[in-house]
Amino acid sequence: MPEISIHRRIWADKLFKALVIVLSLSSIVPMFLILFMITQNGISVIDWQFLSHLPKPVGEAGGGISNAILGTLWLIGLSFLFSVPLGIFAGIFLSEYKGGKLAYLTRLSIEILQGIPSIVIGIIAYVWVVMPMGSFSALSGGVALGIMMLPVVIMATEETLKLVPDSLREASLALGVPYSRTIMKVILPAGLSGIVSGILLGIARVAGETAPLLFTAFGSPFMNLNILKPINSLPLTIFNYATSPYPDWHTLAWGASFVLIAFVLGLNLITKWVTRKWKVQF
Amino acid sequence: MNPAIADVAVPTDRPQITLRYKWGVSEASFRKLLYLAGLTLLILLLAIFFSLVIASLPALRQFGFSFLIGKTWDPVRGEFGALAFLVGTLMSSFMALFISLIFSLPISISLGEYFREGNASTFMKSVIELLAGIPSVIYGFWGLFLLVPMVRALETALGVSPQGVGIFTSSLVLAVMIIPYASSIGTEVISLVPSDLKEAALSLGATRFEVIRKVILPYAYSGIFAGVLLALGRALGETMAVTMVIGNSNFLPKSIFSPGNTMASVIANEFTEATGSLYLASLIGLALVLFIVTTIINVLGKLIIQKMSTRK
Amino acid sequence: MEDNLKGFIKYLVRGFRMKKGLNFVLLFPILFSLCSSGFAAEVELIGAGATFPYPLYSKMFDVYNKEQGLKINYQSIGSGGGIRQLTNKTVDFGGSDAIMSEKDLKEAGAPVLHIPTCAGAVVVSYNLAGDPQLKFTPDVIADIFLGKIKKWNDPRITAINSGVKLPDTDITVVHRSDGSGTTNIFSSYLSKVSPEWKEKVGAGPSLSWPAGLGGKGNPGVAGMVKQTPGGFGYVELIYALQNKMSYGTIKNKKGNFVKPTIASTSLAANTALPDDMKVDLTDTDATEGYPISGFTWILVYKEQNYADKPEEKAKALVNLLWWMTHEGQKYAEPLHYAPLSKAAVGKAENLIKSVTFKEKPIRK
């Protein structure tokens, strides 16, 4: 048998470890580049004017992203409405019925739903809401984002509730508490931290979505709170301004990116805090 | 007296006990509600599928199979063949996968084997989470302003036409975006390799590298593969970051530096203005293809993970 | 004692009333939406389409909003988009620099008026070191876009540009990736001057381009040309000016090399105008006219009573159109668009007066 000297093997081992570490660490590079570029270019743009004013016509200085910020929040609210009640109940369903044909099919549907590209969901919202309604609207954008948020909420609910021990449930039922109340008032609150984290993560995900809004929410240069009318959002603004040839608009896009990233990362941090603070240990 | 229970009927002629409450609903109704919730999800998915099929029927009927292999996408003449986009999608996604593997595999090994816990591990994990959380449009924006000039410089050095945008650039952006997905499952399966296997190898005198090479990786292979599949599914459907840097050319790309288009990107570009219902149906047909392909890949990935967890 | 859904809902409501915080979070958006649906009574117009006139429209709509209080939401998604959304009736008006084809009109189902708002020039812009001022002939432009002329120092280009040192760089052609009226104007010009173009590619808002990169909208093309050394693309004049990009002079039908300006565009627009204003201005006969000019139109349905549209909305639209073709014209020149000639305004007035609601003209 050919003998590879022990020195070579040790050397190979050290080299491999070094290589692995270097390659792993280099994945930090893009992240830092992105955050650095956005902060460097975007932070100078952020001021009260930027955050509170409406966009100006092409070529005119000034202008802000107030309608985009509000639009994003409004769309998040709509998507929350569509996905959270249904999502929590579906999550409860999956955690209560671990076996069973419907549970299996539902679980499969959710996994498939999660993998659907966001632009396909945008098309669905267009076909289901925009076309019958006859106009673009915040509602259709909310529907699209709601469909995208559903799997996140359901999976978080299911995972969290699975961790709640059966003894809790049985104790409650044994005391005569009705099944519905047991679930809603005993089990759900025990898993609240996980569910809230799931919701927050879902929000973080849909806050940054652009593709499904391209032909549903449509965008608007005005402030709008009416769900039947088109609405602007931060990612749409970034897309429109970044792909334009005007340097002023590029700068605005950096500022908007900064706001969006701060929002998304902030949500991620809050999620961690929620998990730590509200988690019920068993 | 428990006010919750108004009356308890215990009829002797029926085997079941039905408890009725003053407020609230019986177990049966609540369970029905839960069932309904689950069913709604299933119906939602089926509705999505059928909507796509029905909306794209005119195009499918007109072109049949040649929709997938037709080279010409000509809205003027009403000829819609998706081959250029299929190729563009596959090229950019697979290249992205390949590039990201160079980084995500080491990450999985680091987090699963070398640095399972501790500050370095938490730091790495946070970085990966951050990468996953950055919205796609921001990746596109960053790619447009940082990667495109870099690729342009590369192309000038290579003597290729310095366009900057193209399939190569889009795969670079995609690669960064899918690193979290490709590495997450890998990390988990690597860390779950039974220690007795590893210790057996170590006690026989293997170096850590050899343990990884000969024990861990073969054991975790299917998990890593599943992670790769999931990452692929993500890359195939990615729209915004790709459309901003791919060059938007509806032709079969000639090289990795050519501009091209992916299915998702062409839908984003042309959907709002598809004049003519055949055009619209063709675009929805592309969406249907995307739906089917990503579904198959995702389900395959999940099946592999399931098989792995039952194996253990 | 309710053993049914109604009881469950009552139970939920009670629960909500007890948890005030949750109550607020969940009811707030519901209430607000219900309230704001009442705002639907406020008239707001939605339009979409051409990027060609977008700088002008965004200025016009901003001014109109300040003066009249009417909100007009125009999204520049390309002329193809304007036509499609008008056909789908998801917008109140479309913007297009492409005349609707027979097929488009059939799909729309009802007569659509093309009301001109201004004329503009489509320029060929390029990115070369030193920003030289270049001349182009029609056949050269066509062959560059056909992919037959590949380098900047091709003899055919240097022949017409003696005195300019052209580099040995590849020409990177940039065209529109979306359905565009600008493309329509450009390609109908190329179809007139190059039989090969007419046969191979043709004219229309969305083409099967033989070569080049695609940019989304006029801004996308301008952006790409600006960032790509050796880039060569076609954009509306204002986009080249606002981005300080070089653009070429083109040899027109009469043999003169004409620079695209308001004056040369107006000369091209000064042709016989049909009543429906559906006229193509390219390859003009005017001696000093710019050969790649075109009108841009606002498309509206002749009969405004569709999709439960309230009469005030139709009135607001008609008044807007009147303003755009009269008082609004003063914003055209500062933005380098050619305002409508008197004759054109006259034709536009007739068209606007023919817009009806329930068969009665809205403006007399």
Count Cβ atoms below 10 Å from residue A33 Cβ, excluding itself: 14
Residue C13 has pLDDT above 70, yes or no: no
B168: left (phi over 0), alpha (psi -120 to 50) or beta: alpha
Distance CA C349, CA C273 (A): 13
Residue C4 has pLDDT above 80, yes or no: no
User: Would you say C304 and C356 are in contact if contact means Cβ atoms under 8 Å apart?
Assistant: yes
Distance CA C132, CA C74 (A): 36
Q: How far apart are the first and last CA of chain A?
A: 56
Distance CA B244, CA B221 (A): 35
Q: What does the mean pLDDT of chain B come to?
A: 84
Tell me how close the Cα of A257 comes to any Cα of chain B, in angstroms: 7
For A127, the closest of B2, B51, B297 (CB atoms) is B51
- Could you tell me where the DSSP H helices lie in B192-216? 195-203, 208-211
Distance CA C180, CA C51 (A): 8
* Chain B residues near residue C179 by CB distance under 8 angstroms: 75, 270, 273-275
Strand (E) or helix (H) holding B123:
helix B119-133
Over chain A, what HEC string results? CCCCCHHHHHHHHHHHHHHHHHHHHHCHHHHHHHHHHHHHHHCCCCCHHHHHCCCCCCCCCCCCCHHHHHHHHHHHHHHHHHHHHHHHHHHHHHHHCCCCHHHHHHHHHHHHHHHCCHHHHHHHHHHHHHHHHCCCCHHHHHHHHHHHHHHHHHHHHHHHHHHCCHHHHHHHHHCCCCHHHHHHHHHHHHCHHHHHHHHHHHHHHHHCCCHHHCCCCECCCCCCCCCCCCECCHHHHHHHHHCCCCHHHHHHHHHHHHHHHHHHHHHHHHHHHHHHHHCCCC
Distance CA B213, CA B182 (A): 19
Distance CA C248, CA C259 (A): 7
Q: Which span out of B64-68, C77-81, C167-171, C214-218 was modeled with the highest average pLDDT?
A: C167-171
Distance CA B47, CA A123 (A): 13
Q: Which residue has the higher pLDDT, B11 or A91?
A: A91
User: Would you say B166 and B256 are in contact if contact means Cβ atoms under 8 Å apart?
Assistant: yes
Residue B146 has pLDDT above 70, yes or no: yes
Q: Which stretches does DSSP call E strand in chain C?
A: 44-49, 71-76, 93-96, 112-126, 135-136, 172-176, 213-215, 231-236, 246-247, 249-251, 257-258, 293-301, 356-357, 360-361
Give me the residues paired with residue B74 across strands. B79
Count Cβ atoms below 10 Å from residue C135 Cβ, excluding itself: 16
Residue B76 has pLDDT above 70, yes or no: no
Closest CA to C76 of C67, C85, C66: C85
Q: How far is residue A212 CA from its own chain's centroid?
A: 13
Q: How far is residue B175 CA from its own chain's centroid?
A: 12
Residue C38 has pLDDT above 50, yes or no: no
Q: What is the pLDDT of residue A275?
A: 82
Query: pLDDT grade, residue C39 (50/70/90)?
Result: very low
- Angle A254-A257-A259 from CA coordinates, rounded to 5°: 115
Tell me how close the Cα of B230 comes to any Cα of chain A, in angstroms: 9
Q: Which residue has the higher pLDDT, C1 or C217?
A: C217
Q: What is the pLDDT of residue C116?
A: 92
Chain C residue closest to A60 (CA)? C59
Percent of chain C clearing pLDDT 90 (strictly above): 20
pLDDT in tens, B5-49: 555 555 556 555 555 555 556 778 888 888 898 899 999 999 999
Q: What is the pLDDT of residue A192?
A: 87
Amino acid identity at B171: S
Q: Which three-class secondary structure state does DSSP give residue C62?
A: helix
Strand pairing class (B79-80; B73-74): antiparallel
Q: What is the pLDDT of residue B95?
A: 93
Give me the residues paired with residue C338 across strands. C119
- Average of per-residue pLDDT across C161-171: 87
User: Would you say A54 and A66 are in contact if contact means Cβ atoms under 8 Å apart?
Assistant: yes
User: Would you say C44 and C78 are in contact if contact means Cβ atoms under 8 Å apart?
Assistant: no
**Least confident stretch, A44-48, A202-206, C346-350:** A44-48
Q: What is the pLDDT of residue C5?
A: 59
- Does the interface predicted TM-score (ipTM) exceed 0.90? no
Whether pTM exceeds 0.80: yes
Q: Which residue has the higher pLDDT, A54 or C300?
A: C300
User: What is the biggest distance separating any 2 CA atoms in chain B, rounded to whole angstroms?
Assistant: 92
For B294, the closest of A116, A239, A264 (CB atoms) is A116
For B137, the closest of A31, A111, A210 (CB atoms) is A210
- Average of per-residue pLDDT across B191-212: 87
* Chain A residues near residue C307 by CB distance under 8 angstroms: 134
Residue with the two structure tokens 């229309």: C204
- Tell me whether A222 touches chain C (CB under 8 Å): yes
Query: pLDDT grade, residue C1 (50/70/90)?
Result: very low
Distance CA B1, CA B6 (A): 10
Distance CA C191, CA C247 (A): 21
> Which residues have CB under 8 Å from B221's CB, separation 6+?
none
Give me the residues paired with residue C258 across strands. C250
Q: What does the mean pLDDT of chain C come to?
A: 84
Q: What is the pLDDT of residue B22?
A: 55
> Which residues have CB under 8 Å from A204's CB, separation 6+?
A263, A264, A267, A268, A271, B133
Q: Which stretches does DSSP call E strand in C139-272?
A: 172-176, 213-215, 231-236, 246-247, 249-251, 257-258
B276: left (phi over 0), alpha (psi -120 to 50) or beta: left
Closest CA to A17 of B221, B191, B109, B186: B109
**A residues 47..76 contacting C (CB < 8 A):** 56-59, 74
pLDDT in tens, A249-259: 888 889 889 99
Distance CA B250, CA B240 (A): 17
User: Would you say B135 and B180 are in contact if contact means Cβ atoms under 8 Å apart?
Assistant: no
Q: What is the pLDDT of residue B7?
A: 55
Q: What does the mean pLDDT of chain A come to?
A: 86
Percent of chain A clearing pLDDT 70 (strictly above): 96
> Which residues have CB under 8 Å from C341's CB, separation 6+?
C266, C269, C270
Query: pLDDT grade, residue C229 (50/70/90)?
Result: confident
Query: pLDDT grade, residue B277 (50/70/90)?
Result: confident
In C, what residues contact A, Cβ < 8 A?
A: 8, 11, 15, 26, 28-30, 32-33, 36-37, 39-40, 44, 46, 48, 54-55, 58-59, 61-62, 71, 73-75, 88-91, 216-217, 219-220, 222-223, 226, 239, 242-243, 307, 335
Distance CA B152, CA C229 (A): 9
Distance CA A234, CA B137 (A): 10
The answer to whether the CB atoms of C73 and A80 lie below 8 A apart is no
pLDDT in tens, B219-240: 888 888 888 888 998 899 889 9
Percent of chain B clearing pLDDT 70 (strictly above): 89
Residue C36 has pLDDT above 60, yes or no: no
- Tell me whether B20 touches chain A (CB under 8 Å): no
Both structure tokens of C128: 């070369």
Residue with the two structure tokens 């034709």: C347
Query: pLDDT grade, residue B191 (50/70/90)?
Result: confident
Give me the residues paired with residue C44 across strands. C71
Both structure tokens of C30: 């519901």
The answer to whether the CB atoms of B269 and C216 lie below 8 A apart is yes
Closest CA to B176 of B143, B223, B225: B143
- Tell me whether B174 touches chain A (CB under 8 Å): no
Q: What is the pLDDT of residue B1?
A: 46
> Which residues have CB under 8 Å from B31's CB, separation 6+?
A179
Q: What is the pLDDT of residue C123?
A: 93
Residue B80 has pLDDT above 90, yes or no: no
pLDDT in tens, B87-115: 899 999 999 999 999 999 999 988 888 88
Strand pairing class (C93-96; C44-49): parallel
Distance CA B176, CA B184 (A): 14
The answer to whether the CB atoms of B29 and C5 lie below 8 A apart is yes
Residue C29 has pLDDT above 60, yes or no: no
